[in-house]
Amino acid sequence: MIRKVRGKVEKLTPDEIIIESGNMFFESIPTYRILERCEIGKEYVFETHLEISEWNIAFYMFYDDIERNIFLNLKKVSKLGGKSALKILQKIDVEQLINMIASQDVKGLSKLPGIGKKTAERIINELGENLETLPVSGESTKLKDALEALEALGFEKNKVFNVLKEIDIEKLTLENIITQALKKL
């Protein structure tokens, strides 16, 4: 099975990406990160996922392993398939998506294509418990830890998340993030 594809970006639009790898061309729908970080004519190594069923063959391409893992986790949510998971990853960066799930932001998730309130709640319920297994950056880990600490102190999760969005958490320690958030709460 193909897990990674190394190749030169031949075409890149919001509707498709074409990669030339040797004598083969791979076509897929680009994710948010691919659209933001890739340039035509440059070579990249993409993570991939191939699905074969009796009705369809689908080839998905991702900028990195984080996107691929989030995609695979989204597909596990009941009533959410590969096409819907890919539509989500086209419109939002995985870090933002993880933050929405961690903060239980039903309203924000509902704004994504093909996601209504009930599906947003299912995503939060089914992936929120397994958030520890989702790959996240240091910034998202600090955000999650700060959310949990402030929630344990009795603050409402959505209010805490909105306050934390205003703080530059990348440059601060966890203790400083919590201290600044407490001042604003």
Select from 1.10.1200.10, 1.10.3470.10, 1.10.150.20, 3.10.20.30 the CATH code of 4-133.
1.10.150.20
CA dist 131 and 126 (Å) reads 9
Supply the pTM of this predicted model. 0.69
Answer for the pair 49, 29: CB distance below 8 angstroms, yes or no: no
Average pLDDT value for the chain: 85
pLDDT in tens, 44-92: 999 999 888 888 888 899 998 889 989 999 998 988 988 899 999 999 9
Query: What residues does each domain of the chain span?
Result: 4-133, 138-184
For the beta carbon of residue 130, count every other beta carbon within 10 angstroms: 11
pLDDT for 118 equals 93
Cα dihedral across residues 108, 133, 136, 175: positive or negative: positive
Q: Is residue 138 predicted with pLDDT exceeding 50?
A: no
CA dist 185 and 164 (Å) reads 10
pLDDT in tens, 1-43: 668 889 999 999 998 999 998 898 989 999 999 999 999 999 9
Answer for the pair 88, 32: CB distance below 8 angstroms, yes or no: no
Q: Give which of 173, 177, 141, 175 is closest to 160, Cα–Cα.
A: 177
